[in-house]
Structure 1
Amino acid sequence: MLQFEHRYATLPAPLWVASQATPVASPELIAFNTPLAEELGAKEVPDATTLAGWFSGNQPVPGAKPGALGYAGHQFGNFVPQLGDGRALLLGEVVDQHGVRRDVQLKGSGRTPFSRGGDGRSPLGPVLREYLVSEFMAAMGIPTTRALAAVTSGERVVRQMAEPGAVFTRVASSHIRVGTFQFAAARRDEALLKALADHVIERHYPEAANAEDPYLALLEAVVARQALLIARWMSVGFIHGVMNTDNCSIAGETIDYGPCAFMEQFDPQKVYSSIDQGRRYAFANQPAIAQWNLARFAETLLPLMKEEGDALVEQATDAIRRFEPLFSAEQRRLYADKLGLAADSDQAMPLMEALESQMHQGRMDMTATFDALTQDAASPNDERHEALLALTTQPNELVAWLDQWQQAQVASQDGERFTAMRHANPVIIPRNHRVQEVIDAAYDGDFAPFHTLLAVVTKPFDESVEARRLAAPATENQQVLRTFCGT
């Protein structure tokens, strides 16, 4: 079905270690992303039984060469020199219809040489969450890994309790992380580090190969992609939850949707992840954490870069400092779109900062606020503010902000700006309580709610009755305030 290649497997061990999936009891297919498979070059899709066998690990996928990837990582600020794929296997790479090389990986397929005593399995809940959220992010145009398949295992996985097991198949531009470079650097093996860096330049940043210092150019390119990515996360209220260096993709994609969630009632210090007790990865901290992760990446590249001594450190520091202006520029652009203002408007930043303050103080739902604002802009009439004002506990203060926003909009009101505003402000996100409803139903053997929610969140600007129903914020009784990792 897929034409696999295996360039990463040619890198020296232990960056890639051959490993086989552990068969499961009775795999059954939950979902298969046929459009993505076709994008990856699949000419035909086999039946559900065959797919379940392949993407559970029970039968070898034709042409695959499974292996686990080695990497290290700073986990909540603490360095662990060896982590690696403890429950995942890279099947290989395919070149898609656009000529882009992409990884295909099983997740939850059993123990590997990097399992460190773990069972190598995944509960069903995190598989469904990652499928829904990654496909929503793709629909929003935010760089992300993708969901190719989800399969139940017919076995139980014990975490806080015994849960149904599942295997997830994801597609990524690559699975190379900041932690992969830390893994090589920790071994003090410059040849290993150089082989990895050269592979990344060839695969992701070929323009860097012609630079005066290719490894400095690589650092600058990764910084730029991460800056754009984090700005886009922030624009939709995405909270990754576990931004360790081993979850920071060198390709600039969102990767590892563990305890992730989307902002509901706006709070810059919002944390959903049950393991983030110190709020290290709170919503507002994400840009600074991304920059911190990139500084760790820069440290690994120093032995390869041309400069020496203090000049080398200053050069790398300057590259890391570029994150903030790049992030801010992208954030301003996104703010202008979200508010329906001209891209060069000098009002976008102050208006957004004031609105965020209003959302926080007025206990407003972030997605519902911007959706209502979009409808407000498109429907000028005497009652245009009603839906928006109903979202806040401080309507008088919001009215004053709305007057300022309307004045700023006067110069920007045209069809293109309304279109940009709608496509910056989704009607629906994968809300925590909706995802939990899907998981609860699936644990009872009912996957219909999963498919219903998937169909809606992959069309995030749809204003159908069903989309509006599933887009509604949680009631007080429905709120899900904690999310959990599947490891």
Structure 2
Amino acid sequence: MTIHIPFDNSYAALPDAFYTRQAPTPVKTPSMIAWNGALAAELGITGESAEVFAGNAVPEGADPLAQLYAGHQFGSYNPQLGDGRAILLGEVIDTTGQRRDIQLKGSGPTPYSRMGDGRAWLGPVLREYVVSEAMHALGIPTTRALAAVGTGQPVYREQGGLPGAVLTRVASSHLRVGTFQIFAHRGEIDALRTLTDYAIARHYPDADGPMGLLSAVCAAQSELVAAWMSVGFIHGVMNTDNCTISGETIDYGPCAFMDAYDEARVFSSIDQTGRYAYGNQPRIAVWNMAQLATSLIQLYDDKEAAVEEATAIVHAMPAQLQAAWLRRFGAKIGLSDAVPEDQFLIEELLTLMQTDGADFTNSFATLGTDTARDQFTDRAAFDAWDQKWRGRVGPNAASIMVRANPQIIPRNHRIEAMIEAAVAGDMVPFERLMQALAAPFDVPAAFEDLRRPPTKAEIVPATFCGT
């Protein structure tokens, strides 16, 4: 089918030092697995094409390239990373006037592949498709999934040959903290200044210089991480190359939504120390912003003054995070006007949930109903908390909570079952998950089973990087 994508590229107009121009590598037999028609309409795209979204055909107006960046990975600096299996086709101006990237993920090797094959297999592609669209439905800033395309050729990993796939990802941009780090680390100040000016113009046009950019990104990341926490989301790999300047969730690798609440919960198979555990995410967000600050300081002649200003901005971030957290969790217990004194009431509930192994999503979703205490084994302790809670909330609590507490999340065991079925050629579980997760705050009875936490045998103990 003929396709038209109204490209309007800007990143490709930056100096060559920012990327390598390269077309995606064609695949054997492209076939459309999933197509997000509503998102395509938002982007002004007409038609659809497995050939284009597999990388076999470069559409008119595209200017394909692989972006360069560096990053701290689990706290250790890697001086050069970059798009090792992704190609930015170009940008469009969507129907709201927002500039957005269109990127193929799993589209073959690039100069930044570091001995990898540049490919993706079907499982991680469908995981990112489902989870990113679920995140969007939850109202949390995120990259989006436009298409998933089968390649008709296997990808070889530890499990042997697996069906290959390409994901088309849409983002406000793919600028990362690591994009700034690479030029700062190299001492390429002109490139760093060009990048900073570009980021301000694209994302924060009201920001006053590099420190204004830092302040805006700190605010965006504070809101993002608080939103993650409020739905029990664990990113799993909050490296600086996975931290966007736009404040969008990006790179759904070993991510997961918690079932039973646990402040120390880790899913990522490669996070051996718990660096990116659920409860550590606010601290890591601040750490990542300190790395951005370190890069931006290089733009100033008066380094001492720049360090002082940047330090004040980063040191203010924990309070920003806490305020965003309190607002989010206050709403989850029915408070539109949560004050610092309410933190104890919220944390007391979370402590009960952790002690009892209560399900995070269902505990909040049932608050105020006859089934709320059924989530807890120590029902007397919950009843005592419930009495205090009812004394604090007002008559509008239910209407506040229904907008803050999803009834359904993309649970790990459902995702794993969906992937297993898809590999066998059955896309019904994928389609059913997508339909249910599109309206997470109002789940019809037909999807009630998807709310159920995993049985002991169904628990997914670890998730894996999508490479």
Q: In the alignment, what sits opposite 1:133?
A: 131
Which amino acid letter does the alignment assign opposite residue 367 of structure 1? T
Asked whether 1:167 is paired with 2:166, we answer yes
Contact kept, 8 Å, 1:341 with 1:413, in 2: the verdict is no
Alignment of 1:224-263 (within 5 A): 224-263=219-258
In the superposition, the TM-score normalised over structure 1's length comes to 0.93
Spell out, residue by residue over 1:371-402, the C-alpha distance to the aligned partner (whole angstroms, 9 max, x if none): 1115x2xxxxxxx2xx2222222111111111
Alignment of 1:65-104 (within 5 A): 65-104=63-102
Which amino acid letter does the alignment assign opposite residue 399 of structure 2? T
Which amino acid letter does the alignment assign opposite residue 332 of structure 2? K
How many aligned positions are there?
A: 463
Spell out, residue by residue over 1:345-364, the C-alpha distance to the aligned partner (whole angstroms, 9 max, x if none): 45531111000000000110
Q: What's the offset of the Cα at 1:63?
A: 1.7
Q: Percent identity?
A: 50
Q: What's the offset of the Cα at 1:45?
A: 2.1
Asked whether 1:195 is paired with 2:197, we answer no
Contact kept, 8 Å, 1:341 with 1:348, in 2: the verdict is no
**CA RMSD, aligned part only?**
1.2
Contact kept, 8 Å, 1:133 with 1:430, in 2: the verdict is yes
Q: 1:109 aligns to what SS in structure 2? A: coil
Cα distance in 2, alignment partners of residues 340 and 8 from structure 1: 44
Structure 2 residues without counterparts, runs of 5 or longer: none
Cα distance in 1, alignment partners of residues 27 and 356 from structure 2: 50
Contact kept, 8 Å, 2:336 with 2:400, in 1: the verdict is no
Q: What's the offset of the Cα at 1:61?
A: 2.2
Q: What's the offset of the Cα at 1:418?
A: 2.6
Q: In the alignment, what sits opposite 1:380?
A: none
Contact kept, 8 Å, 1:216 with 1:305, in 2: the verdict is no
Q: What's the offset of the Cα at 1:463?
A: 2.6
Q: In the alignment, what sits opposite 2:360?
A: 366
Query: Which of the residues 453, 457, 460 maps onto 1:480?
Result: 460
Cα distance in 2, alignment partners of residues 238 and 186 from structure 1: 32
Cα distance in 2, alignment partners of residues 222 and 249 from structure 1: 8
Q: In the alignment, what sits opposite 2:331?
A: 337
Alignment of 1:15-414 (within 5 A): 15-42=18-45, 44-46=46-48, 51-161=49-159, 162-208=161-207, 211=208, 214-305=209-300, 308-345=302-339, 347-373=341-367, 376=369, 384=370, 387-409=371-393, 412-414=394-396
Q: 1:155 aligns to what SS in structure 2? A: strand
Cα distance in 1, alignment partners of residues 58 and 303 from structure 2: 50
Cα distance in 2, alignment partners of residues 343 and 152 from structure 1: 48
Contact kept, 8 Å, 2:184 with 2:298, in 1: the verdict is no
Contact kept, 8 Å, 1:335 with 1:348, in 2: the verdict is no
Contact kept, 8 Å, 2:363 with 2:372, in 1: the verdict is yes
Q: What's the offset of the Cα at 1:419?
A: 2.7
Contact kept, 8 Å, 1:106 with 1:168, in 2: the verdict is yes
Contact kept, 8 Å, 1:8 with 1:16, in 2: the verdict is no
Contact kept, 8 Å, 1:19 with 1:113, in 2: the verdict is no
Q: 1:157 aligns to what SS in structure 2? A: strand
Contact kept, 8 Å, 2:181 with 2:295, in 1: the verdict is yes
Q: In the alignment, what sits opposite 1:381?
A: none
Which amino acid letter does the alignment assign opposite residue 390 of structure 1? D
Query: Which of the residues 432, 441, 452 maps onto 2:432?
Result: 452
Which amino acid letter does the alignment assign opposite residue 413 of structure 1? P
Contact kept, 8 Å, 1:68 with 1:112, in 2: the verdict is yes
Q: 2:449 aligns to what SS in structure 1? A: helix
Which amino acid letter does the alignment assign opposite residue 216 of structure 1? M
Q: 1:179 aligns to what SS in structure 2? A: helix
Cα distance in 2, alignment partners of residues 177 and 342 from structure 1: 33
In the superposition, the TM-score normalised over structure 2's length comes to 0.97
Which amino acid letter does the alignment assign opposite residue 128 of structure 2? E
Structure 1 residues without counterparts, runs of 5 or longer: 377-383
Spell out, residue by residue over 1:434-473, the C-alpha distance to the aligned partner (whole angstroms, 9 max, x if none): 0001000011011111011011111101231222111111
Deviates most, 249-258 or 319-328: 319-328
Q: What's the offset of the Cα at 1:109?
A: 0.3
Contact kept, 8 Å, 1:347 with 1:408, in 2: the verdict is no
Cα distance in 2, alignment partners of residues 201 and 267 from structure 1: 38
Contact kept, 8 Å, 2:329 with 2:346, in 1: the verdict is yes
Cα distance in 2, alignment partners of residues 107 and 479 from structure 1: 29
Q: 1:102 aligns to what SS in structure 2? A: strand
Which amino acid letter does the alignment assign opposite residue 29 of structure 1? M
Q: What's the offset of the Cα at 1:326?
A: 1.1
Cα distance in 1, alignment partners of residues 296 and 36 from structure 2: 37
Cα distance in 1, alignment partners of residues 333 and 119 from structure 2: 44
Which amino acid letter does the alignment assign opposite residue 85 of structure 1? D
Spell out, residue by residue over 1:275-323, the C-alpha distance to the aligned partner (whole angstroms, 9 max, x if none): 11111100000000010010000000012236x2433211111010121
Deviates most, 311-320 or 461-470: 461-470
Spell out, residue by residue over 1:240-275, the C-alpha distance to the aligned partner (whole angstroms, 9 max, x if none): 000000000000000000000001111100001101
